[in-house]
């Protein structure tokens, strides 16, 4: 998965970064959503413009017209969800719902584009991602939030499989780092337990080729990376690039 697209120039979550990932042949794009004061769904990681653009202000306090003046890295406009979904109608999108303002706007956008089959809705908040799912007209893939992931890491080895299935009834994936502080998350046991439940495991954010190879050897299902070019080379070298 191309983490906020693919850019070596700091143009994260820009159409240029998404185009670069697609041109490499990456079929899965990871991105984030926020909503403007007038209800336009944007692809942007932070709640404010300050870090990566030449403008300032919280997105939730600005209109779409005001945000449209900002430039990522001084060069690229902040894209809307509609732009990405329309330009790349076959791309699969991994969408991190960053705020409550975006629950209804994201659900409406997925419905508008009839894009349920190519979306994976995620959030650190299980309440927020489930709020999106409840507004959708049909089943859409989703990954566990932080509470359910922590429960699975800590209690998965001791809880019965049937109870885990009920707890994770709407979860299609865990999207996790290799570890949280001193706690190692990605282990053979974690993968085995997740796969027994039919749940995929995606690891973020991996930019070192040797680390990519180790994780693939271990059996992870997806890698989120800033370096789509290096991941492509690794997969080609393993004969796994389609």
Euclidean distance between CA atoms 76 and 86, whole angstroms: 18
Whether the CB-CB separation of 201 and 174 falls below 8 Å is answered with yes
Long-range CB contacts (within 8 A, 24+) of 17-23: 17/76, 18/79, 18/84, 18/87, 18/88, 18/91, 19/87, 20/228, 21/228, 22/88, 22/91
3, 28, 34, 202: the active-site residue? 3
Residue bearing tokens 């030449």: 54
Active-site residue, 202 included: no
For CA atoms 78, 83, 85, 87, the dihedral sign is: negative
Euclidean distance between CA atoms 188 and 98, whole angstroms: 30
45, 113, 116, 211: the active-site residue? 45
Active-site residue, 45 included: yes
Q: Cα 229 to the chain's mean position, in Å?
A: 18
Q: What is the DSSP string of 123-180?
A: -S-HHHHHHHHHTSSS--EEB--HHHHHHHHHHTTTS-HHHHHHHTTT--EEEE-SEE
Positions annotated as catalytic residues are 3, 45
């Amino acid at each position: 998965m191309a983490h906020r697209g693919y850019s070596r120039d700091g143009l994260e979550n820009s159409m240029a970064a998404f185009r670069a990932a697609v041109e490499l042949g990456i079929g899965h794009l990871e991105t984030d959503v926020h909503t403007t004061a007038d209800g336009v769904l944007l692809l942007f990681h932070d709640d404010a413009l300050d870090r990566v653009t030449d403008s300032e202000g919280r997105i939730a306090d600005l209109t779409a017209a005001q945000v449209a003046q900002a430039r990522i890295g001084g060069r690229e406009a902040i894209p809307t969800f509609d732009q990405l979904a329309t330009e790349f109608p076959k791309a699969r999108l991994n969408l991190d719902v960053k705020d409550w303002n975006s629950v209804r706007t994201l659900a409406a956008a997925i419905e508008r584009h009839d894009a349920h089959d190519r979306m994976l809705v995620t959030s650190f908040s299980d309440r927020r991602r489930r709020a999106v799912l409840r507004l959708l007209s049909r089943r859409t893939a989703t990954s566990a939030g932080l509470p359910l992931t922590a429960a699975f890491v800590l209690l998965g080895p001791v809880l019965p499989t049937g109870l885990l299935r009920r707890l994770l009834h709407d979860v299609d994936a865990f999207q996790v780092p290799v570890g949280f502080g001193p706690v190692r998350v990605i282990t053979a046991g974690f993968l085995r337990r997740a796969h027994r439940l039919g749940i995929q495991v995606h690891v973020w954010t991996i930019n070192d080729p040797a680390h990519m190879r180790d994780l693939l050897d271990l059996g992870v299902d997806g890698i989120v990376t800033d370096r789509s070019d290096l991941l492509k080379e690794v997969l080609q070298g393993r004969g796994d690039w389609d």
